[in-house]
Amino acid sequence: MASHSFKTIREIHDAFDRKIVSPTELADEYLDTAKKSKHNAFITICEERTKKLASSAQDLLSREGKVPRKKFPLFGIPIGIKDNMTMDGVRTTCASKMLDNYIAPYTGTAVARLEAAGGIGIGKLNMDEFAMGGSTENSAYGPVLHPQFPDRVPGGSSGGSAAAVGAGLCMAALGSDTGGSIRLPASFTGIVGLKPTYGRVSRYGLVAFGSSLDQIGPMTRSVEDAAVIMNMMGGHDPMDSTSSPTPNEDFLKAALSEPHWKNLKIGVPKEYFVKGIASDVDHSVRAALQWYEKKGAHLVEISLPHTHFSVAVYYIVAVSEASSNLARYDGVRFGVRPEAADQAQDLETFYKKVRSNFGPEVKRRIILGTFALSSGYSDAYYKRACQVRHLIKKDFDAAFSKCDLIAGPVSPTTAFKLGAVQDPLQMYLNDIFTIPANLAGIPAMSVPCGHDKDGLPIGLHLQAPAFAEGRLLSVARAFETRGTS
Ligand code: GLN
């Protein structure tokens, strides 16, 4: 038995039932693989805690004789957690020196719900510092390596999550997505990543980056597992005032049901197939669209005319919110307080010493955000960006009156070499296709759709109207299992 060989949670549960592997053996194998791995995917491995939870699962399994799937749909499943989500008593760094010694005093809702369903938070995963980046090269704990191509990036900012799932260091992982941080790394590493509707998953316990954009979502080896995790994790939470009261649908049932092909209209935005997209990406995505058409779906050309402003709008809105959110790291309430700060003679020197703990990308964004919000400029930048954000949302409303889903590429390119993208603007442009969904608050996912000539994975991007995750999962799974039916 190798932890890599299981494609779904269901397969693991069957193996538990048939005593092919026990929960403790499985946990040990994942721990062992994680410890030996060279990917730098983990910042913290929760060894003791994992062993303890796996051994309780083992006891329960021995008593019951069979996996109690109904009560614990994630029974004994090792899940990696991005290091910007809190777990009681566990270090939570956000891959920043600023939080190097921060031990969270509570568990956030998403993680708590997964553990209540039997999942085991095996450790905390590396990421771009405070989730700012697209390659996981901005971590204060070193870059994460692509799971199959160690000279390449896994994408970011949830690069640790993608590498850990892709390399078999955990069965599934949680990521967070503010402008593409679940979908971009999922597409770069050939796994499934879902960014839910804004408000579907509680942000309680997620360290805030851009609060009006951030969402937690699953990163898995199969669409089915993403659905299982969403069933457990989604739904209203009184601890997050932006969490929606819209009830969860049964995501697993939706994922496993065949789409009504004849009634399905897939929108293909003309703005998504333009110069600048790698030809292999273009080719694979078009081939996926053709597959859908062969199944009976209708492809309709649509237009999202404001797409082209989305990166500019995002880099005003996200950095403005970030500058406000990150003000709490002042060395008094939160944040490492270096000795030099305590020796400071005045407040300004004190702050300078404390806030020098931030890495260069985080500093750049705090400065940009502070500028965009400053008096005399906020109307010209922040307010204007919010107005254009509204136009982007209206583009989607208009598009969804003509189609049920929108399909296109996740990213213009496949995974690039470590260090290859030095210009921050060029890095920002990788998110051109993923950012609009965050600005509009709609659900979107990446599902593997092929490889380029070097064998690097390519992701198909599916976007749906708010709260239509079920539709996304169903259409994504049909494609994922196309060879098997
Ligand atoms: N790459 C984008 C950024 O750097 C998105 C990050 C994210 O979704 N957390 O902001």
Closest Cα to atom 4 of ligand 1? 133
Q: Which of 94, 127, 128 to mutate to test the pocket of ligand 1 (most atoms within 8 A of CB)?
A: 128
Round to whole Å and give the CA distance between 445 and 425. 24
Round to whole Å and give the CA distance between 415 and 155. 7
What φ, ψ does residue 389 adopt, rounded to 5°? -55, -40
Please tell me the predicted confidence (pLDDT) of residue 47.
Answer: 98
435 C-alpha to center of ligand 1: Å?
Answer: 8
Instruction: Provide mean pLDDT across the span 409-438.
Output: 95
Q: Which of 320, 431, 446 to mutate to test the pocket of ligand 1 (most atoms within 8 A of CB)?
A: 431
415 C-alpha to center of ligand 1: Å?
Answer: 16
Closest Cα to atom 10 of ligand 1? 132
442 neighbors 400 (Cβ within 8 angstroms): no
Closest Cα to atom 5 of ligand 1? 179
* Atom of ligand 1 at shortest range from CA of 177: 8
Q: List, for residues 310-353, the tens digit of each pLDDT value.
A: 999 999 999 999 999 999 999 999 999 999 999 999 999 999 99
Predicted confidence band of residue 62 (pLDDT cuts 50, 70, 90): very high
Instruction: Provide mean pLDDT across the span 460-485.
Output: 94
Distant-in-sequence, close-in-space partners of 338: CB < 8 Å, separation ≥ 6? 331, 353, 354, 357
Q: Kindly tell me if the per-residue pLDDT of 48 is higher than 60.
A: yes
* Atom of ligand 1 at shortest range from CA of 178: 8
205 C-alpha to center of ligand 1: Å?
Answer: 19
Instruction: Provide mean pLDDT across the span 298-306.
Output: 97
Please tell me the predicted confidence (pLDDT) of residue 272.
Answer: 87
- Tokens 């999922």 correspond to 186
Q: Kindly tell me if the per-residue pLDDT of 484 is higher than 80.
A: no
Instruction: Provide mean pLDDT across the span 126-154.
Output: 98
Q: Which of 138, 178, 194 to mutate to test the pocket of ligand 1 (most atoms within 8 A of CB)?
A: 178
Residues with CB under 6 A from ligand 1: 131-134, 157, 177-181, 209, 318, 431
* Atom of ligand 1 at shortest range from CA of 361: 4
Please tell me the predicted confidence (pLDDT) of residue 276.
Answer: 83
429: buried, middle or exposed (CB in 10 Å: 19+, 13-18, 0-12)?
middle
374 three-state secondary structure: coil
174 C-alpha to center of ligand 1: Å?
Answer: 15
Instruction: Provide mean pLDDT across the span 17-22.
Output: 96
Please tell me the predicted confidence (pLDDT) of residue 6.
Answer: 86
What average pLDDT does the chain have?
96
Q: Which of 130, 128, 14, 129 lies closest to 76, judged by CA?
A: 14
Instruction: Provide mean pLDDT across the span 388-392.
Output: 98
208 neighbors 214 (Cβ within 8 angstroms): yes
Q: Which residues of 363-401 are buried (b: 16+ CB within 10 A; e: fewer)?
A: eebbebbbbbbeeeebeebbeebeebbeebbebbeebbe
Q: Kindly tell me if the per-residue pLDDT of 258 is higher than 70.
A: yes
Instruction: Provide mean pLDDT across the span 298-320.
Output: 96
- Tokens 């730098």 correspond to 40
Round to whole Å and give the CA distance between 248 and 468. 10
349 C-alpha to center of ligand 1: Å?
Answer: 30
Predicted confidence band of residue 2 (pLDDT cuts 50, 70, 90): low
Sign of CA dihedral 146, 152, 154, 160: positive
Q: List, for residues 222-231, the tens digit of each pLDDT value.
A: 999 999 999 9
Instruction: Provide mean pLDDT across the span 250-264.
Output: 97
Cβ–Cβ contacts within 10 Å for residue 483, how many?
Answer: 5
Catalytic hit among 3, 22, 37, 82: 82
Q: List, for residues 261-284, the tens digit of each pLDDT value.
A: 999 999 999 988 877 899 999 999
Please tell me the predicted confidence (pLDDT) of residue 69.
Answer: 96
* Atom of ligand 1 at shortest range from CA of 314: 10
Q: Kindly tell me if the per-residue pLDDT of 414 is higher than 80.
A: yes
Q: Based on the residue annotation, tell me whether 82 is a catalytic residue of this protein.
A: yes
Q: Which of 460, 471, 304 lies closest to 397, judged by CA?
A: 304
Round to whole Å and give the CA distance between 352 and 358. 10
Round to whole Å and give the CA distance between 278 and 276. 6
CA atoms within 13 A on the CB side of 114: 31
Predicted confidence band of residue 483 (pLDDT cuts 50, 70, 90): confident
Round to whole Å and give the CA distance between 158 and 431. 13
Please tell me the predicted confidence (pLDDT) of residue 446.
Answer: 98
Beta bridge partners of 152: 417
Share of the chain above pLDDT 70, in %: 99
Share of the chain above pLDDT 90, in %: 95
Instruction: Provide mean pLDDT across the span 188-202.
Output: 98
225 C-alpha to center of ligand 1: Å?
Answer: 24
314 C-alpha to center of ligand 1: Å?
Answer: 9
Distant-in-sequence, close-in-space partners of 431: CB < 8 Å, separation ≥ 6? 134, 179, 180, 184, 311, 314, 411
Please tell me the predicted confidence (pLDDT) of residue 174.
Answer: 98
Q: Kindly tell me if the per-residue pLDDT of 1 is higher than 70.
A: no
Catalytic hit among 176, 181, 202, 323: 181
Cβ–Cβ contacts within 10 Å for residue 336, how many?
Answer: 16
Distant-in-sequence, close-in-space partners of 41: CB < 8 Å, separation ≥ 6? 34, 80, 125, 126, 144, 159, 160, 161, 163, 164, 167, 169
Cβ–Cβ contacts within 10 Å for residue 286, how many?
Answer: 14
Please tell me the predicted confidence (pLDDT) of residue 477.
Answer: 98
Q: List, for residues 206-222, the tens digit of each pLDDT value.
A: 999 999 999 999 999 99
